Homo-oligomer: A and B are copies of this chain.
Amino acid sequence: MDFDANLPQHLERHLAAFLTEAGADIRAGEPAFGSGVDALTRFVLGGGKRLRPTFAWWAWRGAGGDPGGPDTEGVLRAVASLELVQACALIHDDLIDSSDSRRGRPTVHVSHAREHRAHGWLGAPETFGMAAAVLLGDLALAWADDMFAGAPLPPATLAAAHPAWRAMRTEVLAGQYLDVRTQAVGDTTPEAALRVCRLKTAAYTVQRPLHLGAALAGADEARIAALHEFGSDLGVAFQLRDDLLGVFGDPSVTGKPAGDDLREGKRTLLVALGLQMAEDPEQRKLIADAIGADLAQDEVDTVRRTLTEVGAVDAVEVQITALTSTALTALERAHLAEPAAARLAGLAETATQRVF
């Protein structure tokens, strides 16, 4: 039972137990609901880096949480519930972005549309797929709350983490709403991309999970503030690395086709910087036209070369290095206990380091 060493297994144990228990009553009476619960269960247990609960766990450990103490199982359950929020975010995001695959498998709306088509059911397969994705995402979000609120922890412990829980869910939805709006109005400035990134990635993926874990350990304001700074800079650095991977990443590592972010029309900070830094109008046009275009491999190569030539790739690398460095300084100010400080520093390195 080494929680630190086998964290993903412990998180998945709690997720599997909750997913079995949460739908049991209705499944007993309504077997057809089972196919929905099964689809959600496969999605949640079918992969993912468990990044958010991992940040939360190490913040809890670093702020004094003792795996030998009475709160451990409650904390594992509370932080594992972040994966259900993430399931909702991914299922709904994939629908909004019309993404066909996720983790090398068909997305929820696509797999349901295929099931509909294979059975020759009534109505449009795409409408059925959309409906299933909306409802299973909703179920994940409702169950996230049930899993968090039902964690076996003293009421005061859970209440201390509530501000982080509240803020996290509002921030990710606000970030996604801003993202959709920013893309619609065609705001291609780096500032707009950074604002979306601060809510959608930094706050949701790093800051609030750290805040939540630290609050579960009763951390004081000063420590939470230091973790916020660490999370803010690390979160942006992490998104910038993801931006680079989305354009330059190896499909066998990312699980997505090469240059997929371009095809999906993502307004990343990388692309925004490329547009801003391109002095040659032709280079600017080449980048602008690539966003949301159905690019062939050689066209992806051309865009990659252009983003590199205009200096956007270097600029992003410089920012990643600078943000990772300020993040690590903030982490020191949080004065976390070991091994948490070293593990969080390691996570910061891993999540931001060059992999190609």
Q: Which of A3-11, A57-65, A183-191 contacts B (4 or more CB under 8 A)?
A: A183-191
| CB-based nearest B residue for A135 | B177
Q: Does A145 contact B (CB under 8 A)?
A: yes
A92 touches B134 (CB 8 A): yes
- In whole Å, how far is A211's beta carbon from the nearest beta carbon of chain B? 14
A263 to B155, CA, bound (A): 50
Residues on B with C-beta less than 8 A from A123 are 183-184
Pick from B26, B122, B171: contact of A171, CB under 8 Å:
B26
Pick from B23, B138, B155, B180: contact of A141, CB under 8 Å:
B138
Residues on B with C-beta less than 8 A from A88 are 138
Q: Does A332 contact B (CB under 8 A)?
A: no
Residues on B with C-beta less than 8 A from A127 are 96, 98
Residues on B with C-beta less than 8 A from A162 are 149-150
Q: Does A237 contact B (CB under 8 A)?
A: no
A199 touches B26 (CB 8 A): yes
Q: Does A173 contact B (CB under 8 A)?
A: yes
Pick from B170, B180, B199: contact of A23, CB under 8 Å:
B170
Chain A interface, >50% SS class = helix
Q: Does A128 contact B (CB under 8 A)?
A: yes
How would residues 117 to 131 of chain A score, 1 for a CB under 8 Å from any chain B CB and 0 otherwise? 001011100011011
Residues on B with C-beta less than 8 A from A119 are 185
A177 touches B142 (CB 8 A): no
With A134-B96, A141-B138, A149-B149 as known contacts, state yes or no: A22 contacts B170, CB within 8 Å. yes
A64 to B97, CA, bound (A): 50
Number of interface residues of A (CB under 8 A): 59
A137 touches B138 (CB 8 A): yes
- In whole Å, how far is A315's beta carbon from the nearest beta carbon of chain B? 25
Residues on B with C-beta less than 8 A from A142 are 141, 145, 169-170, 173
A89 to B150, CA, bound (A): 23
Q: Does A248 contact B (CB under 8 A)?
A: no
A138 to B87, CA, bound (A): 13
Residues on B with C-beta less than 8 A from A178 are 30, 32-33
- In whole Å, how far is A265's beta carbon from the nearest beta carbon of chain B? 8
How would residues 89 to 132 of chain A score, 1 for a CB under 8 Å from any chain B CB and 0 otherwise? 00010011010000000000000000010010111000110111
Pick from B131, B150, B167: contact of A180, CB under 8 Å:
B131
A134 to B108, CA, bound (A): 15
Residues on B with C-beta less than 8 A from A122 are 183-186
Q: Does A86 contact B (CB under 8 A)?
A: no
B173 touches A95 (CB 8 A): no
Q: Does A174 contact B (CB under 8 A)?
A: yes
Q: 5 more A-B contacts (CB under 8 A) besides A35-B181, A122-B185?
A: A92-B138, A96-B135, A132-B177, A139-B170, A142-B173
Q: Would you mind naming 6 contact pairs between A and B with Cβ atoms under 8 Å apart?
A: A26-B170, A122-B185, A123-B183, A137-B138, A142-B145, A155-B155
